Amino acid sequence: MKVFLPRAFCLCLIFPLFGCRGVTEEQDPGESFDAAGHPTAMPVATLEAFAAVVNGKAISIYEFDRSVLRYEAALEALGLDLAEQGDYRAVVLDQAIDARLIAQEARARGLDVEDHELERALNEGIQARGGRVGFDDWLGANYFSEDEFLQGLENQLLAVKVQEEVLTSVGSVAEHVRVRHILLGTREEAEVVESQLANGADFATLALKYSLDISTRVNGGDLGWFPRGLLTTPELEDVAFELVPGERSGIVETALGFHLVESLGRDEQRHLSPQAAIVFRQAVVDRWLMELRSAAEIERFVP
């Protein structure tokens, strides 16, 4: 039931720092600047020029299309068939929106990237590609101008900084619970097992006999200790954290089937294992990003 995903913390999502396919916090289409770099009046743009608008800031169609090309180039480099990737344009747009939200939040917190930080990161990217010639070739193959790359790089560095702030309060310990469960294929089967438990049957024995979760049934359905964010089924995790030790749930329906859950313990200050720490911190970041999305005004203009 538990999944330890080796996900990178970088909030630019799928790709590594110098191969980011995310969308940048660029100037809005039609926006112009004076010699000092201050914005002047911006002419009204048509919605056809926008892929999305996030808190009043536009993601242009041009910007979005370039991101799609980069995404396609990355998939092809991995040997993946684009025809088998589903609606990846929607994935790219979601990533663009998230990247825009993260950059906006970073700036709202007063975070910034110093010139020397950007220069160091750029030099690392150049060196990683064998020097200037190799780097220029990489830019062309990935549909980047150097300005586009620098803007994306700056926003990735901002994302790292804001993520560090989000994770400041996350230490080496967290609330854990320990539960066991029995997974059944139908509600009717779950009701039969629930009735047996109510009549005094042993939970572990029934788990071994009936549970469809082959990874835990040999242990009587024991999922062990875990913090929030580790279970693949959030509905089951929510119930696990609601129960008090010794309490049993009713029937819990998830995408996997129908569960009966019993709490075996709770520890408010249990140390995170190395793998659990990675997933737990990612869950904290995911919840923070979800809150950003919920509070944002987002309009999408491309299918």
Which CATH number fits the domain that encloses residue 125?
Answer: 1.10.4030.10
Same-domain status, 132 and 25: yes
Looking at the fold, whether 139 and 44 belong to one and the same domain comes out as: yes
Percentage of the chain beyond pLDDT 90 is: 71
The pLDDT of residue 48 is: 54
Angle formed by the axes of helices 187-198 and 203-210, nearest 10°: 150
Total structural domains in the chain? 2
Q: What is the mean pLDDT of the chain?
A: 85
Average pLDDT over residues 182-206: 97
Is residue 159 situated within a structural domain? yes
226 and 161 inside one domain = no
**Alpha carbon distance 27, 288 (integer Å):** 25
Indicate if 149 and 256 belong to the same structural domain: no
Q: Please indicate, yes or no, whether residues 216 and 93 belong to a single structural domain of this protein.
A: no
Q: What is the mean pLDDT of the segment spanning 168-196?
A: 94
Residue 32 and residue 153 in one domain:
yes
Contact indicator for 223, 216 with CB cutoff of 8 Å: yes
CATH classification of the domain holding 219 = 3.10.50.40
Q: Are residues 30 and 160 in the same domain?
A: yes
Cβ density class 122-139: b for 16+ within 10 Å, e for less:
beebbeebeeeeebeebb
Which residues make Cβ contacts (< 8 Å) with residue 22, sequence separation at least 6?
12, 13, 15, 67, 95, 96, 98, 99, 152, 155, 156
Instruction: Specify if 160 maps to a domain.
Output: yes
Same domain, 162 and 226: no
Range of the domain at 264: 173-271
Alpha-carbon separation of residue 300 from 55, 70, 93, 94, 240 (angstroms): 12, 20, 9, 10, 37
Alpha carbon distance 282, 288 (integer Å) = 10
Q: Which of the residue ranges 60-64, 171-175, 176-180, 201-205 would you say has the lowest mean pLDDT?
A: 171-175
pLDDT tens profile 102-116:
999 999 999 999 999
- Here the tokens at position 67 are 């991101």
The CA distance from 82 to 113, in Å, is 35
- Report, as an integer, the average pLDDT of 136-163: 92
Same structural domain for residues 89 and 208?
no
User: For residue 295, with 0-12 CB atoms within 10 Å meaning exposed, 13-18 middle and 19 or more buried, which class applies?
Assistant: exposed
pLDDT band at 172 (very low <50, low <70, confident <90, very high): confident
1 within some domain = no
Q: Is residue 231 part of a domain?
A: yes
Average pLDDT for 192-207: 97
Predicted pLDDT at 169: 76
Q: pLDDT at position 279, please? A: 84
Q: How many CA atoms lie within 13 A of 8 on its CB side?
A: 12
Strands 50-54 and 57-60: antiparallel
Which residues does 197 contact at the CB level (< 8 Å), separation at least 6? 203, 206, 248, 260
- In terms of domains, do 140 and 257 share one? no
| Separation of alpha carbons 137 and 142, rounded Å | 9
pLDDT band (50, 70, 90) for residue 207: very high
Do 221 and 97 have their domain in common?
no
Domain-located, residue 4: no
Least-confidence region, from 138-147, 195-204, 261-270 = 138-147
Same domain, 150 and 182: no
The pLDDT of residue 268 is above 80: yes
Q: Within a domain: residue 265?
A: yes
Residue 9 maps to a domain = no
Please check the confidence at residue 167 and state whether its pLDDT lies above 80: yes
Q: 41-50, 78-87, 270-279: which has the minimum mean pLDDT?
A: 41-50
- Model pLDDT, residue 12: 37
Beta-carbon-side half-sphere exposure of residue 104 (alpha carbons within 13 Å): 22
The reply to whether 3 falls in a domain is no
Confidence of residue 19 (pLDDT cuts 50, 70, 90): very low
